[in-house]
Amino acid sequence: MQPGLEDIEAAARVVYSDMAPTPQYCWPLLCEQLGAEVWVKHENHTPTGAFKLRGGLVYMARLRQSQPCVRGVITATRGNHGQSVALAAAKVGLQAVIVVPHGNNPEKNAAMRAFGAELIEYGDDFQEAYDYAVAQAQTRGLHPIRAFDPALVEGVATYGLEFFRAVPDLDTVYVPLGMGSGVCGLIAARDALGLSLKIVGVVAKGAPAYALSFEAGRVVATEKADTIADGVACRTPDEQALGIILDGAARVVRVSDEAIEAAMGHYLSDTHNLAEAAASVPLAALLKERESMAGKKVGLILSGGNADKESILRALA
């Protein structure tokens, strides 16, 4: 069941106790480039540099209230979810243990430690790290946080509420599709406000699990998720998230790593904003669909700015 307007507004009160709403801007150079009126929702402007913090704050507030005896939490991440959990857990006095796969972005690892998390490296990708985190929860007596959860969606939906109230007549919004909280939060906010705009999820070609699942109408897992965009490197979609996406999204678009890097470059040159690879997939999709979107009013979710130095240099090149 999706959160309603009262639920999202209650989540917003929790979120705004620790951060301000993020801005949305219409950038002229992007509009020129795309032949459309393009609005960017800047979730790279949160205290962790990504939209995930909203969900973390709401989740921890609810957990503290409903299970006061919990002493710590454990989850898996490629970075932004982990930073969110680390910061939000610290705010309510909980220990945070974060599992990341080997070879994870070292700068995101450093940020999670700086927010107070204990970091464990395990496995070759997110799915292996996630399975290990679930197993360790019982061993260590920690509360496991799933990658997709209704409380996370309610928190994340607050950015949709902000965006749609500020720019109410959007035709289409493109959003990164990792484990699903971002797109499901947008769908919840749109439906709560009674709007008719179209929501488009975007995945990397090398991590097509959600695109395959959307096309099949059921969960389709892949053996690997090979992309520079670690935030959308999903192998096994969440069944609950997929159900919401099947009901509420217009389509799921696939973009190449080359297109993602080009989109990162456009954000740098056209808006002087840093967008990590996963946050650039919506712009890459709009560039791909520019002919069909010409003349329309379009939204892009710039979900995070936590790019590492190497990816920034590639985007500039």
Between CA 25 and CA 243 the distance in angstroms is 31
Residues 169, 123 share a domain: no
Residues 159, 81 share a domain: no
pLDDT given for residue 1 in this prediction:
74
Residue 44: DSSP 8-state: G
pLDDT given for residue 315 in this prediction:
81
pLDDT given for residue 309 in this prediction:
84
Q: Which domain holds residue 117?
A: 52-144
Residues 156, 21 share a domain: yes
Residues 113, 83 share a domain: yes
pLDDT given for residue 105 in this prediction:
85
Cβ atoms of residues 151 and 59 within 8 Å = yes
Residues 67, 36 share a domain: no
Query: Which residues fall within 8 angstroms of residue 267, CB to CB, at 6 or more apart?
Result: 273, 274, 275, 280, 283, 302
Q: List the chain pLDDT tens, one digit each, 317 residues.
A: 789 999 999 999 999 999 999 999 999 999 999 999 999 999 999 999 999 999 999 999 999 999 999 999 999 998 899 999 999 999 999 999 999 999 888 888 999 999 999 999 999 988 899 999 999 999 999 999 988 899 999 999 999 999 999 998 999 999 999 999 999 999 999 999 999 999 999 999 999 999 999 999 999 999 998 999 989 999 999 999 999 999 999 999 999 999 999 999 999 999 999 999 999 999 999 999 999 999 999 999 999 999 888 888 888 87
What's the total number of domains in the chain?
2
pLDDT given for residue 92 in this prediction:
95
pLDDT given for residue 126 in this prediction:
87
Among 144, 167, 196, identify where a domain stops. 144
Could you tell me the CATH number of the domain that includes residue 74? Answer: 3.40.50.1100
Cβ atoms of residues 150 and 3 within 8 Å = yes
Between CA 233 and CA 32 the distance in angstroms is 31
Residues 295, 212 share a domain: yes
Among 127, 144, 161, identify where a domain stops. 144
Residues 251, 192 share a domain: yes
Among 144, 165, 198, identify where a domain stops. 144
pLDDT given for residue 11 in this prediction:
98
Q: How many CB atoms lie within 10 A of CB 26?
A: 13
Q: Indicate if the alpha-carbon torsion angle 159, 163, 168, 174 is positive or negative.
A: negative
**Total-model pTM:** 0.94
Between CA 144 and CA 147 the distance in angstroms is 10
Residues 84, 24 share a domain: no
Between CA 164 and CA 168 the distance in angstroms is 5
Residues 74, 30 share a domain: no
Residues 196, 83 share a domain: no
pLDDT given for residue 2 in this prediction:
87
Residues 253, 161 share a domain: yes
Q: Could you tell me which of 177, 145, 313 has the C-alpha nearest to residue 249?
A: 177
pLDDT given for residue 38 in this prediction:
98
Mode of pairing for the β-strands spanning 37-42 and 297-302: parallel
Residues 33, 68 share a domain: no
